[in-house]
Amino acid sequence: MKFESVPSKKPRIGVYISEELKAKAEIVAESESRSLSNWITVLIEEAVERAESEGKIKFDD
């Protein structure tokens, strides 16, 4: 499955991971019909929500 690149004004982050981990992550993302970037975003959102619900972090809205 090929994903189109859409320009975004969202902030970018860069990470270094092994080729093996990237390849495996791409397979998981594709199995969920997501781009790798979107899949990673979902993982981060879930981790932040979990940390908030566990009281590890708190943000004033």
The tokens for 22 are 């990237």
Rounded CA separation 11/31 (Å): 26
Map out the domains of the chain as residue ranges: 19-53
pTM score of the predicted model: 0.77
Query: So what's the pLDDT on residue 8?
Result: 83
Under the banding of pLDDT at 50, 70 and 90, the label for residue 43 is very high
The tokens for 6 are 């859409």
Under the banding of pLDDT at 50, 70 and 90, the label for residue 45 is very high
Residues 6-37 have pLDDT tens digits of 778 999 999 999 999 999 999 999 999 999 99
The tokens for 21 are 């981990």
